[in-house]
Structure 1
């Protein structure tokens, strides 16, 4: 009698949201990136440290710079055909100030936030 192999459950990665938004703020710059969680790689990123963006910004660390970074990241996501992103906030990040500016500008660009 042959015993069939056990049926494996689907990997947990199949149930996670594939793209996650992560933000990092320093005293000088604003960074936002979208991670592809199944492969653990950075899919898209935008930063106020980029040379192309620094010329058009008055300051690279305030709320206006965070809003501009969010808008650029949202446009990059839509150009590549990614309609939705989940948000991953650290313990010390609250939905206020720069965090709110990035998230709202990504939402205004047309990306759905989960």
Structure 2
């Protein structure tokens, strides 16, 4: 693997260990050049409770790899989390820098009522 990917995975591992200590559900994200994915997993990490991505039918039209699409995914994941009875999560950015699409997703989720 490349040094860049190794560094990202190292950062992700450190964050996930800290979140596991807290014992709350986590909102983990993954981004690729074309899409962005978000899911909320249970506190122990054994079950995926809620998912949203740019592959969903509602969000698939238009561009899927930009900040606007990430904001829509953030709003959708917050809406689905509220419907599932989840209001507080820990944000797991999977080692990605907190800017651009990652920040847009987080801000949209916060604006729509998800606390982290």
TM-score after normalising by structure 2: 0.76
Aligned residue for 1:46? 52
- 8 Å contact kept, 1:27–1:61: yes
Q: Where in structure 1 are there 5+ consecutive unaligned residues? A: 1-13
Question: Rg larger in 1 or in 2?
Answer: 1
Decide which of 57, 80, 84 is 1:80's aligned counterpart: 84
- Larger strand proportion, structure 1 or 2? 1
Question: Are 2:74 and 2:104, in contact at CA under 8 Å, matched by a contact in 1?
Answer: yes
TM-score by length of 1: 0.77
Instruction: Assess, with a 3 A threshold, how the Cα gap between structure 1 residues 85 and 54 changes in structure 2: closer, same or farther.
Output: same
Three-state SS of the structure 1 residue aligned to 2:105 is helix
The structure that is helix-richer by fraction is 2
Unaligned runs of 5+ in 2: 1-19
Query: Number of aligned pairs?
Result: 98
CA RMSD of aligned residues (A): 1.9
- If asked which structure has higher relative contact order (CA below 8 Å, sep 6+), I would say 2
Structure 1 runs (4+) deviating above 3 angstroms are none
User: Among residues 103, 107, 113, which one is paired with 1:104 in the alignment?
Assistant: 107
